[in-house]
Amino acid sequence: MEWGQIILLSIWLLLMVDVCRTAGMEPSLKIMSRRKVLVISLDGFGHHYLDKYPWRYLATNLYSAGSYPRKFRNQFVTKTFPNHFSVATGLYEEVHGVIGNNIYDSSLNKTFGMDDKELFMQNPLVSPVWTLNEEHGGHSGCIMWPGCGVAYRGKNVTFLSPFHQHALFNESIDKSIEWFTNERTPANLIFLYHEEPDHVGHIYGPNSSQVEEELRKIDEGIGYLYQMLTVHKLRDTVDVIVMSDHGMSAVKEENVIFLDDIVDSSLYHISGTSPLLNVWTTFEKQLEVYSSLLEGSRTHNYTVYLKEDPQFLAWHYSKNTRISQISILAAEGYVFKDFKNYIDYMKKKGATDLTDTHGNHGYPVDIPNMEPIFVAAGPSFKRGFKAPDFSNIDTYMLLCHLLNLAPGPNNGTADNISSILVEPISSTLIRPLSVTLGCLVALLGLIGILACALTKKEKHRPVSAESLINGYVHRKTMRGQRREPLQDVSEEECLLDANIIDEV
């Protein structure tokens, strides 16, 4: 092999290294680099609404064209802020620390509400997917999503629209499209929160005409979303996930439980909102308060739980200093006085057409009215596919995969949710690995060929007789005049050793 051929082979090897570096990237890198994800949460959209009302765009653009689970599980307590933060972090409520819309932290002796950043900062190890995306060069946007206005590990999202009441769904969609098409920093991940039908569901109840009207607007909004995706040529690159945090149960005004009639209010204070209240008291008064509450539960529709109760452990609602030693949970359809105060407040604000029926959530996850929705459509998802059950914390794993991000610590799993993908997570990992291994084998073989060629050329290099004889004499002297042949002695040296060649 001539030197020109060797140089060409070396250049070809370098090109092969680059080919192997990019081979197998479809879909795990090349497609993911173009992929955009829009996550929409419709607060209080219960799964039972799907069968109760007619749907046009939600059915054609999402359910018929996408994938959804047989059952979508949320986290207890089934409240808005805790479940939205579980979706973003993949963590149980007891792990990320947002165990209610407002909480009391016994370790700090402080109360935090929905406007306090400290509500989300208890666990410094949380890794919201919008933060991971920013850390890996992506651009995240959040429209009113709980917890997204906080900097995690010193990182803020690129785009942020804070919460404001009565935001129009179509306006939020327009903002999403604007961020996706931004010329300088186009977003590749957007979380969009919409407060309906939760807002009207609380005031008028889940079976009201007001809820039906909000659901109609949402359906038209889904149609508008796909119209905008088409206009801006985004349908082939944007994956759309529509979900909710919980459903809604009807509550009669007569179903209010007054704790002051059961236990002396001077013995305790509470945190949280109906139907789950955390009851805080001193160690000395704990037994008295617990006994009074337990006695009251015999004639009122609520259950008393201790922090270590097996049911709380099963719900992963136990291991946190923000959860009290004693908690009380009203039965479905029942509330405590704080909910009555909320309805009275809405009446004073001028809410019209009120009846004696309202709505609430926060009840156990196995109650059908608490079940949320999940449907995903776009280039990454199967069409018209019903998957096995999965949880909202599994959404975190899905989003990390779609965006090619290494997940942070989380409680989710990809086992069931990956089945909704056109190409499951396992195969997208195996494909680049197998291609890379194949390339490595080929490269090693070619390197071996190159090495043999160079070795062969070295062996056939002309050697002068003087060099040969001098080398032979030196090596024979070093062997101490022994006659045993060297293992690597050349044919020429064997001839010299046999005295076949005359002296030069």
Q: Which sequence positions are flagged as catalytic?
A: 80
Cα distances from 497 to residues 471, 492, 502, in angstroms, run: 12, 9, 11
How far is 100 from 81, CA to CA, in rounded Å? Answer: 7
Contact of 328 with 279, CB cutoff 8 Å:
yes
**Which stretches does DSSP call E strand in 362-467?**
374-377, 385-387, 390-391
Which of 221, 196, 220, 193 is CA-nearest to residue 206? 196
How far is 128 from 160, CA to CA, in rounded Å? Answer: 15
* Count of helices and strands (H, E) across the chain: 17, 20
What residues contact 480, with CB distance under 8 A and at least 6 apart? none
How far is 173 from 88, CA to CA, in rounded Å? Answer: 20
**Radius of gyration of the chain measured on its C-alpha atoms:** 34
Alpha helix positions (H), 73-150: 80-89, 93-96, 129-135
3-state helix, strand, coil in the chain (%, to 5): 40, 15, 40
β-bridge mates for residue 277, sequence order: 328
How far is 158 from 139, CA to CA, in rounded Å? Answer: 6
How far is 103 from 126, CA to CA, in rounded Å? Answer: 18
How far is 15 from 384, CA to CA, in rounded Å? Answer: 43
Token pair recorded at residue 322:
């923000």
HSE-up of residue 23 (Cα within 13 Å, Cβ side):
14
β-bridge mates for residue 143, sequence order: 161, 192
Token pair recorded at residue 317:
């609602």
Pairing verdict, β 110-112 and 140-143: unpaired
- Four-point Cα dihedral 332, 338, 342, 343, nearest 10: 60
β-bridge mates for residue 257, sequence order: 336
